[in-house]
Structure 1
Amino acid sequence: MNEKMFRCPICGSSMRVQQLASLVCEKLHSYDISRQGYVNLLSNRSKTKYDKALFEARKMINSSGFFGPMIEGVSNRLIGMQSRKLPESGKPLRLLDAGCGEGSHLSAIGRKLREHPMVPDVLGVGMDIAKEGVVMAAKTFPDPIWCVSDLSQSPFADQQFDYILNILSPSNYSEFRRLLTSDGMLVKVIPGSLYLQELRALFYKGTGKETYSNDGTMELFSRHFERIEFEDLRYRVMLDSEQVKQLIHMTPLSWSVSPEVIERMTDGEMEVTADFTLLFGWK
């Protein structure tokens, strides 16, 4: 299980796998490894709105290809970076998805990397504070290592990852810098100003929230990395009525919207804007 990768999120000491059933640190803090293969490293149960229904909806949207061009863009950048590095014999590329949800993004990117001849073996690790997402990821994609864990107390030793993915998910930049190798790279994907603009226009009409700006997120990102690059990616996707319904259920944009408004929106197909800014940062 690559136990040397881990450190205890409570005391920071090293950890070992015990009888393939738990991960135990030097001070005997113990974390169960589930039958599905994920490990729960939370000391307290987290409260989150990200439930099983949301992750099922997100899984369906992922399988529809909605995020395909974004996945392609991230994968191509990682492949390009690897092709310029001297491979270390016998060492896999270590890839962490911080905020992995139900695992589709990490699985798809890992698969594209493995298909390329310039990339060594890939060790994928996914972490999320929402247990329901990690359970679904472990059941669907058995190859990566899956962890229920808090990003502010991430259970990994220093400089463990060549790349960290942070896709449409909150950040903890001090942890990202700690976990990256000296030449490692953070890939953060954030919504562009037109992301799901069709939903925003209907959900927030007359509230002043119809438009979105990511300027604050980009400025914060820029403060934490000495070298940064940006890439904008925008495209449109036609969704049928069932896919529209799942898209609405998977996005927090709908959390404050009445059921009546949502019901009216799920009648018929809709062309939806996917608009992303890909941020790349190096220590």
Structure 2
Amino acid sequence: MTSLNVTNWSDCLVCPVCGDEMLLKGERTLHCVNGHEYDAARQGYFNLLTGRGTKFREDTPEMVAARLRFLEAGHYSPIADAIVAEVPREAQFVVDAGSGPGYYLNSVVSSLEDSGQSSQSSTQPRAVALDISRAAAKHAAKISNTLSLVTDLWSVLPLAANTVDVVLNVFAPHNIEEFRRVLKRGGRVIVVTPAPHHLQELRDAETGLLGMQSGKQEKLHHTFSEGFTLLHETNVDFSLSLDTQAIADLVGMGPAGHHTSASPDEESPTESAQATDGEPRTVSCGVVLSVFQKS
């Protein structure tokens, strides 16, 4: 767990049980005035799932390891760069809703810290990483001045109203009501969704990747039509030359990774991805980056 320079997070955190303000006591305990406490796991994250937890499946350690190998190789750096470019330099509180291991959030926080140092800012940006995967949360906990919280994105988020400058929402569910509640007026949601041709070569090869929904952007615009204004959209298109291991990681890091245990007479998606001639394969990548502003 990285050292947190901010000792009191009561201005932006709320208890998932009672909704009262929640404070960081030391670096290992979150607590509220009603006595609800959450101790940090050994790896530095806080598990805020309550009651029955969540009905959704969390990414496994194997899926997270595949994602880290793929992302840290720089394959999706064009996406990270495009996200960083949309975050206002004056942003002080960023939330990544569906952060995974925190690859994109880390890029944003690093950029904001560099910007603050160059302008001799007296305050450092804070960040919160939200994900249901404990395996992912332990990596997000390593990001500078970031609280990594395990929570269900479809529940009430453990964040105070009107406190967040920017919400990142990269290949993740959109909890519109909660985004609207926690954002400051004029705050931004940066949404990244796959374009129709994204990874088409791998879909054609039947590697187990899920098909693309039609009318995805139209549905996104409708979802954000109440309480948000679309500022602009950017298409980020690039191609990758991927070897067998990178293809297996790309397939295994997403939803297809939940199905890696196949029956003896059936190939798993990862095995199917590895069943190539060993030559690098060119893969088309395309995402749409949509920037919505809270009205």
**TM-score interval, smaller chain:** 0.7 to 0.9
Change beyond 3 A, Cα 1:267–1:169: same
Deviation at 1:223, TM superposition (A): 1.7
Deviation at 1:220, TM superposition (A): 3.1
Out of 4, 19, 23, the residue aligned to residue 30 of structure 2 is 23
Residues 248, 254 of structure 1: 8 Å contact kept: yes
Deviation at 1:54, TM superposition (A): 0.5
Residue 195 of structure 1: aligned partner: 198
Residues 164, 187 of structure 2: 8 Å contact kept: yes
Residues 207, 273 of structure 2: 8 Å contact kept: no
Out of 52, 55, 60, the residue aligned to residue 64 of structure 2 is 55
Given the alignment of the two structures, is residue 77 of structure 1 paired with residue 86 of structure 2, yes or no?
Answer: yes
Residue 46 of structure 2: aligned partner: 39
Out of 4, 8, 14, the residue aligned to residue 2 of structure 1 is 8
The alignment covers a number of residue pairs equal to: 270
The superposition leaves residues 129-183 of structure 1 with CA deviations (integer Å, 9 ceiling, x where unpaired) of 1111102322x43542111112222111111210000000111000001111112
Change beyond 3 A, Cα 1:255–1:40: closer
Which structure has more helix as a fraction of its residues? 1
Which moved further from structure 2: 5-14 or 260-269? 260-269
Kindly report structure 1 stretches of 4+ aligned residues shifted beyond 4 Å.
Answer: 208-213, 253-257
Deviation at 1:3, TM superposition (A): 2.5
Residue 103 of structure 1: aligned partner: 102
Residue 214 of structure 1: aligned partner: 216
Residues 207, 272 of structure 2: 8 Å contact kept: no
Query: Structure 1, unaligned stretches of length 5 or more?
Result: none
Q: Cα RMSD (Å) of the superposition?
A: 2.6
Residues 203, 254 of structure 1: 8 Å contact kept: no
Out of 140, 143, 149, the residue aligned to residue 141 of structure 1 is 143
Report the Cα distance in structure 1 between the residues aligned to 2:120 and 2:174, rounded to whole angstroms: 27
Residues 48, 150 of structure 2: 8 Å contact kept: yes
The superposition leaves residues 89-143 of structure 1 with CA deviations (integer Å, 9 ceiling, x where unpaired) of xxx71111011101111111221232234695321211101111102322x4354
Residues 37, 142 of structure 1: 8 Å contact kept: no
Residues 188, 280 of structure 1: 8 Å contact kept: yes
The superposition leaves residues 209-262 of structure 1 with CA deviations (integer Å, 9 ceiling, x where unpaired) of 478552354233442344202111111011122211111111224656832533
Given the alignment of the two structures, is residue 113 of structure 1 paired with residue 151 of structure 2, yes or no?
Answer: no
Which moved further from structure 2: 258-267 or 129-138? 258-267
Deviation at 1:18, TM superposition (A): 4.0
Residues 101, 130 of structure 1: 8 Å contact kept: yes
Out of 252, 261, 280, the residue aligned to residue 272 of structure 2 is 261
Report the Cα distance in structure 2 between the residues aligned to 1:156 and 1:211, rounded to whole angstroms: 31
TM-score, normalised with respect to structure 2: 0.82
Change beyond 3 A, Cα 1:118–1:19: closer
Residues 164, 182 of structure 2: 8 Å contact kept: yes
Change beyond 3 A, Cα 1:135–1:224: same
The letter of the residue matching 2:163 is Q
Classify the secondary structure of the residue corresponding to 2:43.
coil
Deviation at 1:31, TM superposition (A): 1.3
